[in-house]
Structure 1
Amino acid sequence: MMRFYYILLLLFFAPSEILSGKSKYHSNNEILGFLDRFSETSSLKTHVFSIGKSVSGFPLKVLRINQPGNRIGVPSIKLIANIHGNEVVGREVLLHFIQFLDKNYETNKQVKCLVDNVRIYILPTMNPDGFSESIQGQCEGVTGRHNKNDFDLNRNFPDYIYGNAYGVPQDEYRRMIQPEAAAIMKWMNRTRFVLSASLHGGAMVANYPFDNYGSPEELNNKYEALTPDHDVVYHLAKTYVHSHRRISKGVRCPWDEFGLLYFEDGLTNGAKWYTVKGGMQDYNYVAGCIELTLEISCCKYPQPKKLSMFKKENIQPLLKFGLQALRGIKGRVFDSQTQKPIAEAILHIVGRKFTFRTSKKGEFWRILRPGAYNLKVEAVGYESVTERITAEEYSEDECPQIPMISISLKPKQ
């Protein structure tokens, strides 16, 4: 009988109506309720699951929109908000983005393209414990920024240069990894993401990697710390910014006395702005997933009446950003003798330092600008190969259907 009433409740609060009404912030429990109700009632194929728990035991729930089902070669993206507990606008933006995809799936060609061709994972709050300590209306400061153990989660990931942000031996650092960061790392181990965004507050800018410098000389001279894929990374940042009405024009935050938060074109290299050791953005890139840090509000915890503006101005940029997962190359790696897919094969674009790996089904993806590239593929027990591949050019109005590349590796004799 209780389940009967629960189903009635879900049907009554259809996903298109869950977030209607006046602007308000949703509590941690309300976010969980929304994700569950959406998954139960949406006509889209969805799944809600937890990637782990916060220090206080609150589940870190993710909504997966999985319209492609088990189709091979479908890229995965993730959108994460609230890594800093007091930067809260992103939570609400992601809830409304979910609702936007549901309501516009049948009528909007770009929405249909994204939902039909990309697996979309959304984590509205990565730091629910910090959010619980945050203060509504507080635009600056750090109250609620950290997790329950007083760690800044955006300094808690392995650092590709220094090992960790704390300057301690790696054994000691491993004991300092917080459950929220550990959950993200385990999640990324299970799923080969090609694209990611982390939504922040405190400025209005698209921040692209790297966030850290490779040497003290670079740090002192304030050089940009650019990735080998800067052409792609910069294009992704521009795609978001050029779709955003305000960020694209440059926003000067009211309390920014010295102009440290002002970016004329709405773009910045992370390390050129300020250095971050142990950041999630750099960890993603080195692991094979391009992530941007999107600062979408000057005020970290603005009054609810401001939310309507933030929701409206970020929906289209998120949509266009997500569609970039369909640019570049994709394929599978096989054993030439058994024709079985090879998991954990290592791939890299020749001339670009960092590698990426195949999924358990032998799939791979890489966002690339149009052009020809040499792709080197290696796997334990196999002879390596290098193949010439091409990333095609598509117009912004197209829904790209990238051809699958098939690569065979010969076992070593």
Structure 2
Amino acid sequence: MVMKTKLLFFLLLFASLISSSLAKGSLQQTLNSSEKFDDCSNASRTRHLLEDESRAQTSVDLAQGYMSNDDLERAIKEFGQRCSNISRIYSIGNSVNGFPLLVIEISDKPGEEESKPAFKYIGNVHGDEPVGRELLIFLANWLCDNYLKDPLVKLIVENVHLHLLPSMNPDGYSLRKRGNANNIDLNRDFPDQFVSINDDEDSRQPETRAIMNWLRDIRFTASATLHGGALVANYPWDGSEDKRTKYYGCPDDDAFRFMASIYSHSHYNMSSSKEFLGGITNGAEWYPLYGGMQDWNYIHAGCLELTLEVSDNKWPNATELPILWRYNKMSLLNLVASLVKTGVHGRIYSSGDGRPLPGSITVSGINYTVTAGKTFGDYHRFLAPRDKYEVVATMPGYKSKNTTIWLDDGPVTLDFVLDPEVSVKGSVLQNACDCDCNSKSTQEFVQFLWGAHLEVFFILIVILGFLLLLFKRRTKVKFPTSRPLAGSKRTVEV
């Protein structure tokens, strides 16, 4: 009996050793295949953004020292209470797993609609790139603590509506992977100009829809998303029509290069990059992608957006976060401040009644239109400094106007006063906004006149005509030398 027991024990021990050996061999094979994928990817691209997710998942200490999603939510709400005089907290929706996408707005009049430009920063688009979410909390606290001390901070708070979304992809962060909870890369989930994808809005991820709806509610002038895996400021286009890797600039190529250079040259060492001249790059020339958020912002939302790679390491040790903040602080501040330090800004009015017009602003030679706001008729057109630009304002039902500006020394404030178009007979064409809301009453009055009272109406016309004839004769006798004055033409400044 004892011999049988010992034999059974050795058999079980032997079986467990074989099972363990097979399991390790399978795991090693998986890791080897993953490493081959990484080597192939890095050999074909200089952009280290598609790192093996399985490697991130097996590193249990990656997020040590970083804020968890609960920590982030708590930090945002505590900031809102501590700095309530110049901020508000709101949500633009929820992630797949129901985590709120919380935004911090910073302004001297948060939540109020004003004729100021709006700027947004978005972090953590990819779940395994968490540096951006930490930097945006650093930025919010810096603005709060230095509002009454630092002139640059004061300029931003009083002249810009700044919106910070620290994490667009909280689910991906908690899972330590690039995509969201549905394993979708959110920076490939937007409608694209070159590839017919994501045309059905209901098929997009909830995080993507939240961003799109956000930009329908708020008219952002410019923005940037914070990524990791390289050190460079990337600008549109992100893809090309023939899908080849080559420089493919958008209509505002000069403005985007200027924006990217502001960030790069304000950074501790981004502009000294040996890989990217000046620390900036055109997306299509570097790493073509389709369905990206940056191109969608420019095409569909009138918002000039950059993609900022702020750390060579996607998951740097948490002890490096204060250093990364110091390296990126002036870049983050200067990029926002550039909205009011350059470009052309103004409002569009009607010369008839002085009311604001939601017209359009174009610049000769740049195939891109900026729309003015409905409430104030305000527009904000980001442009690179240059000798001169010809700016044109248009509005349906009004005569367009144009003027030339010089942007070699700071921003230009330019208001347009548009004259209504006139018909051949000289009557002012009715604007769509001036519709007669009493048309029903008018019809009833006409029906009254042409009904049973037609005879009375006819007699009144005869009497009025006779009185008018007598008045004209008396006027000719009394004022024989008088003549009508020529109508004076009103001129208004641009």
Which TM-score band applies after superposition, normalised by the shorter structure? 0.7 to 0.9
SS at match of 1:193: coil
SS at match of 1:300: coil
SS at match of 2:215: helix
SS at match of 1:410: coil
Cα distance in 2 for partners of 1:106, 1:93 equals 21
User: Any conservation in 2 of the 1:369–1:391 contact (CA below 8 Å)?
Assistant: no
Q: How many residues are treated as equivalent by the alignment?
A: 355
- 1:373 aligns to 2:380 (yes or no): no
Cα distance in 2 for partners of 1:394, 1:104 equals 27
Cα distance in 2 for partners of 1:378, 1:24 equals 53
The alpha carbon displacement at 1:149 in A equals: 1.7
Partner residue in 1 for 2:416:
406
The alpha carbon displacement at 1:68 in A equals: 4.6
Partner residue in 2 for 1:258:
none
Amino acid at match of 1:145: R
- 1:154 aligns to 2:167 (yes or no): no
Amino acid at match of 1:331: G
- 1:98 aligns to 2:140 (yes or no): yes
Q: How does 1:81-160 map to 2 (within 5 A)?
A: 81-134=123-176, 144-160=177-193
1:167-195 deviation line (CA, Å, top 9, x unaligned): xxx3xx33321111111111111111111
Partner residue in 2 for 1:214:
241
User: Any conservation in 2 of the 1:156–1:181 contact (CA below 8 Å)?
Assistant: yes
Computing the radius of gyration over CA atoms, which structure comes out larger, 1 or 2? 2
Amino acid at match of 2:279: G
Q: How does 1:13-24 map to 2 (within 5 A)?
A: 24=65
- 1:77 aligns to 2:138 (yes or no): no
Amino acid at match of 1:316: M
CA separation of 1:411 and 1:150: change in aligned 2, threshold 3 A: farther
Partner residue in 2 for 1:249:
272
Cα distance in 1 for partners of 2:404, 2:212 equals 30
CA separation of 1:178 and 1:71: change in aligned 2, threshold 3 A: closer
Cα distance in 2 for partners of 1:389, 1:67 equals 33
User: Any conservation in 1 of the 2:261–2:278 contact (CA below 8 Å)?
Assistant: no
The alpha carbon displacement at 1:391 in A equals: 4.9
Cα distance in 1 for partners of 2:355, 2:344 equals 21
Once superposed, what is the RMSD of the aligned Cα atoms?
2.1
Bigger helix fraction = 2
Partner residue in 1 for 2:250:
227
1:337-392 deviation line (CA, Å, top 9, x unaligned): 3433233x33322221122212232221111123432333344x423514114254
1:272-314 deviation line (CA, Å, top 9, x unaligned): 0111111111111123111110001122122212212111111
Higher relative contact order (CA 8 A, sep 6+): 1
Gaps of 5+ in 1: 1-22, 135-143, 252-261
User: Any conservation in 1 of the 2:125–2:169 contact (CA below 8 Å)?
Assistant: yes
Cα distance in 1 for partners of 2:318, 2:331 equals 21
SS at match of 2:221: strand
Structure 2 residue corresponding to 1:57, chosen from 91, 98, 117 = 98
User: Any conservation in 2 of the 1:79–1:198 contact (CA below 8 Å)?
Assistant: yes
Q: How does 1:275-354 map to 2 (within 5 A)?
A: 275-286=288-299, 287-326=301-340, 327-343=342-358, 345-354=359-368
User: Any conservation in 2 of the 1:202–1:297 contact (CA below 8 Å)?
Assistant: yes
Cα distance in 1 for partners of 2:192, 2:92 equals 22
Gaps of 5+ in 2: 1-63, 423-428, 430-494
SS at match of 1:324: helix
1:181-217 deviation line (CA, Å, top 9, x unaligned): 111111111111111010000111111111011235x
Amino acid at match of 1:321: L
User: Any conservation in 2 of the 1:205–1:266 contact (CA below 8 Å)?
Assistant: yes
Cα distance in 1 for partners of 2:190, 2:391 equals 29
User: Any conservation in 2 of the 1:49–1:61 contact (CA below 8 Å)?
Assistant: yes
TM-score after normalising by structure 2: 0.68
Amino acid at match of 1:153: L
User: Any conservation in 2 of the 1:88–1:301 contact (CA below 8 Å)?
Assistant: yes
The alpha carbon displacement at 1:31 in A equals: 1.6
Among the aligned pairs, what percent are the same residue?
Answer: 36
TM-score after normalising by structure 1: 0.81
Cα distance in 2 for partners of 1:409, 1:324 equals 32
SS at match of 1:37: helix
User: Any conservation in 2 of the 1:50–1:62 contact (CA below 8 Å)?
Assistant: yes
1:318-342 deviation line (CA, Å, top 9, x unaligned): 1111111111111222344343323
SS at match of 2:323: helix
SS at match of 2:223: strand
Cα distance in 2 for partners of 1:202, 1:338 equals 55
User: Any conservation in 1 of the 2:236–2:283 contact (CA below 8 Å)?
Assistant: yes
